[in-house]
Amino acid sequence: MAKLTTLHEFIMDKQADFPYASGELSRLLSDIAIASKVVSNDVRRAGLMNDILGKQGNTNVQGEEQQKLDVIADKAFISVFKTGGEVCGIASEENDEFMPFESEFSQAGKYVVLFDPLDGSSNIDVNVSIGTIFSIYRRISPKGTPATKEDMLQEGDKQIAAGYVLYGSSTMLVYTTGKGVNGFTLDPYIGEFCLSHSNMKMPETGRTYAMNEGNISICDPGIKEYIETYCQQTQPGQPRPYSGRYIGSLVADFHRNLIKGGIYIYPSTTVDPEGRLRLLYECNPLAYIAEQAGGLATTGHERVMGIKPTELHERVPFFIGSKTMVEQAMNCLKK
């Protein structure tokens, strides 16, 4: 068997791509891998442990009911960020406010991390794939001071790195630092993420669409037109219409589309005029990965990563996936 490249080895090799790198980003990525192994272990045992599975008993700032695993994952990631020394503050989908770290040690860190500790939490109790999504920015505030809200509210274009961990049939970590996208599968025998998907490219088009079609009557008519015209009718030269696949965990739907080609749509609706997905914790990091892999991510009208955020928990309509499919959907909206 050929020798596997571990995530740690890969990160160290890639550090040479950034001539002035101090190693902090490399250490931060390694810390993320450690936290995700902890969360992966909890996810794998969830069905056996009453203290892991089920509702936490409170709602988060989005008004959504928190699951115990949401909180466990949130704490696991915050703990590695607080003790690593590279991060001066974080913002998480599970917390109302951003969290500047208090210690001098952390305030010397040059990065902030924004993350969704467990995306797709309504799938936890039914053993369906869920994931963690993260986004790393260089702080704007001076080193040695507490992190500020401005550090958190940066355009997606300013991301230094982004990625996700998918707790699926295997656990995978996929990330980019702006030089392509690479995926690592957790080998449970040795407890290491190993390179399994190098230089990932999203096919220019695909045959799968993911959308909560229960919302179709409360969307812009352009969405209905896109779904009916492009997805549900057999296209010239094709044997049948596209396949509809909606997991309800964005990270899992995105991962499938990244590998096989496809589109994920969460548009604005009359109930959620801004859409449902969070710009900072879900859309920007996946948009960075999509673009790095040759795909597109828009609100239906503009590039997601060009938006200047104004609020921590801001939502945007989201169209992400294979370039041609996203462009076709946007053309239908224009009409």
Please pick, from the candidates 6, 148, 196, 212, the single residue that binds ligand AFP as defined by CB under 6 A.
212
Q: Select the residue interacting with ligand AFP from 37, 255, 276, 315 (CB under 6 A).
A: 276
Shortest distance, CB of residue 161 to ligand AFP, whole angstroms? 21
Output 109 or 120, the one with its CB closest to ligand AFP: 120
Contacting residues for 83 by C-beta, under 8 A, at least 6 apart: none
Q: How far apart are CA 166 and CA 252, in angstroms?
A: 7
- Binding string, 28-67, against ligand AFP, x = CB under 6 A? ------------------------------------x---
And the tokens for 333? 């909206």
Would you count residue 119 as binding ligand AFP (CB under 6 A)? yes
Q: What is d(CA 217, CA 214) in angstroms, rounded to the nearest whole number?
A: 8
Residue 312 CB, nearest approach to ligand AFP (Å) = 16
Specify the residue, 171 or 215, whose C-beta has the smaller distance to ligand AFP.
215
Among positions 120, 261, 262, 317, the unique one binding ligand AFP when judged by CB under 6 A = 120
| 201 close to 55: Cβ distance less than 8 angstroms | no
DSSP symbol at 120: T
- In the bound state with ligand AFP, the residue whose beta carbon lies nearer, of 147 and 277, is 277
Q: What are phi and psi of 262, to 5 degrees?
A: 155, 180
Residues 121-160 that bind ligand AFP (CB under 6 A): 121-122
Q: For the chain, give the number of residues.
A: 335
The reply on whether position 92 binds ligand AFP by CB under 6 A is no
Say if CB 320 and CB 297 are below 8 A apart.
Answer: yes
Q: Provide the total of helices (H) and of strands (E) in the chain, helices listed first.
A: 9, 17
The smaller minimum CB distance to ligand AFP, of residues 100 and 117, is found at: 117
C-beta closer to ligand AFP: residue 141 or 212 = 212
Chain centre distance of CA 284: 8
User: CB-based burial of residue 89 (10 Å sphere; 0-12 exposed, 13-18 middle, 19+ buried)?
Assistant: buried
Closest to ligand AFP by CB, 184 or 281? 281
Segment interacting with ligand AFP (CB under 6 A) among 12-20, 29-37, 200-208, 242-250: 242-250
* 262 near ligand AFP (CB under 6 A): no
d(CA 212, CA 231): 14
Contacts of 69 (CB under 8 A, 6+ apart): 39, 42, 43, 46, 52, 53, 118, 121, 124, 130
To the nearest whole angstrom, how small is the minimum distance from the Cβ of residue 283 to ligand AFP? Answer: 10
Q: Which tokens is 116 given?
A: 């969704």
CB of residue 254 to ligand AFP, shortest distance in Å: 9
Alpha-carbon span 166 to 10, nearest angstrom: 19
The site that binds ligand AFP (CB under 6 A) totals a number of residues, namely: 12
Is 250 one of the binding residues for ligand AFP (CB under 6 A)? Answer: yes
Would you say 61 or 190 has its CB closer to ligand AFP? Answer: 61
- Of 183-191, 200-208, 245-253, 283-291, the window that binds ligand AFP (rule: CB under 6 A) is 245-253
Query: What are the residues binding ligand AFP (CB under 6 A)?
Result: 64, 119-122, 212, 248-250, 276-277, 282
